[in-house]
Amino acid sequence: MRHEAYNAVPADNPWTGYATSEMYLQSAILKLKRKEYLTAGYQLRKSYKIAVSNQEKFPAFIPNLKTLGFFHAVIGAVPDNYVWLANLAGMHGTIKQGSSELNKLVEAAKTDNDLHFLLAESYFLRIFISSHFEKDPELAMKLTDEMVAQISDYGPLGAFIIANTCISKGLFDRALTTLQKVKTTSQQYPLFYLDYLTGILKLNKLQLDAQKDFQRFLDGFKGNSFVKAAHQKIGWIHLLQKDTAGYRSALVVALKKGNDFTDEDKQAVKEAQTGIVPNIYLLRARLYFDGGNYAASLAELAGAPAGSFNRLQDQLEYTYRLARIFDKKRAENEGLALLRTNV
C-alpha cells in the first residue's frame, strides 16, 4: 500500500526515492532480527541501490545523505574477509565516507527548518557510528552533548542514544536520569527497551524497585528479544530478597518465553539450564561492578563470611571478579595479595 502511494508521486520528487529506500532499509533490519537473512540481504541491496540512484538524480537533495551515510559506514565496517560479498552486491563505502556524509546532514539540519525533523535521527546514526565503528567514545560523548544542546525534545530515540553513550563512558547516574525523564507523547511510538535499560541501571545500584521497570517492559513489548533476560533479572531480584523459590520460577519462565537472539538472552538461558542458584555475594558484587561501583563490589567480596565460596565455580568467579575490579582500579598487585588471603 505504501509503495503504491509513493509510486503515485511525480517522478521528479526526490522524497519518493528517499522514502522508498528508507522503507526497504527498515524492513530489512526487521528481517535480520527475525533471522530471515536472505530476504534481509535482498532488501538491503534494494535500499542501497535506490538511495544511490536518488543521489545521482538529485545530488543537491541533502536527506539522501542519511541513508547513504549509514550504508557507507556499515559497508566500511565489514570485516576484510567478507568485503567480497559487499562488492559482489555492488555495495561500496568506507566509515570515513559515511561519517562525513552524516556530518554534512547534521550541519544542514541545524539551520534548515525544513530538515530539522531529521536532526535527532542523524545525530543518532552519527553517534552510533562513532561509538561502534570508529571506536571513539570521546567523540561519541561530544556529539551526544552537542545533540542535547541542539534538541530540547529528542524523544525516546534520543534518550536511548544518550543513555547508551553515557553507559559506555561509565556515566551511569546520568544515563539513569536521562531515561527517567523520558515522556512518550501520543505522537511517538513507545520504545519499551528503555524500561528494560532503566531496570538494568537500577538493579546495578541494587534498587529492587527495578522489578517494576522489567515488568513494564514485558507487559508492553510485543517482540521476543530481551524477554528471557528480563525474566532472569526479575529472578535475581527475588534472590536478592532471599526468595529462592521466586528466583527459580522466574528462570523457568525465562526458558519458555522470548528467543535467544541477543547475548543477554543467551546468558539467561544458560543460567536457567544449569539449575544452579547464583551465589548471593557474587551476584551483588557483579551488579555493583556492572554499575561502575567498584568499591562496593570489592566490599561484597571482602565482607563475605568464611566458606561463602566453597563451590569450584564460585571460586573461579570470585577470582575473575577480583581481577576485573583491580584491573579497573589499576591495582593488580593489591588484588593478588587479597586473593591469596581470601580463597
Position 5 pLDDT exceeds 70? no
Please report, for the chain, the start and end positions of each structural domain, with discontinuous segments joined by +: 207-278, 282-343
- pLDDT tens-digit readout, 161-211: 999 999 999 999 999 999 998 877 766 778 899 999 999 999 999 999 999
> What pLDDT sits at residue 237?
98
Position 83 pLDDT exceeds 50? yes
Position 321 pLDDT exceeds 70? yes
| Predicted model pTM | 0.84
> What pLDDT sits at residue 3?
57
Position 332 pLDDT exceeds 50? no
Task: Give the 3-state secondary structure of residue 343.
Answer: coil
Position 333 pLDDT exceeds 60? no
Task: Give the 3-state secondary structure of residue 181.
Answer: coil
Q: In 10 A of CB 49, how many CB atoms?
A: 15
> What pLDDT sits at residue 2?
58
φ, ψ of residue 318 in degrees (nearest 5): -60, -45
- pLDDT tens-digit readout, 240-276: 999 999 999 999 999 999 999 899 999 999 999 999 9
Position 70 pLDDT exceeds 90? yes
> What pLDDT sits at residue 339?
54
How far lies 134's CA from each of 52, 69, 86, 166, in Å?
23, 14, 19, 17
Indicate the range of 85-89, 132-136, 315-319 predicted with least confidence.
Answer: 85-89
How far lies 154's CA from each of 32, 160, 170, 188, 189, in Å?
27, 10, 22, 11, 13
Position 336 pLDDT exceeds 80? no
The CA distance from 132 to 136, in Å, is: 8
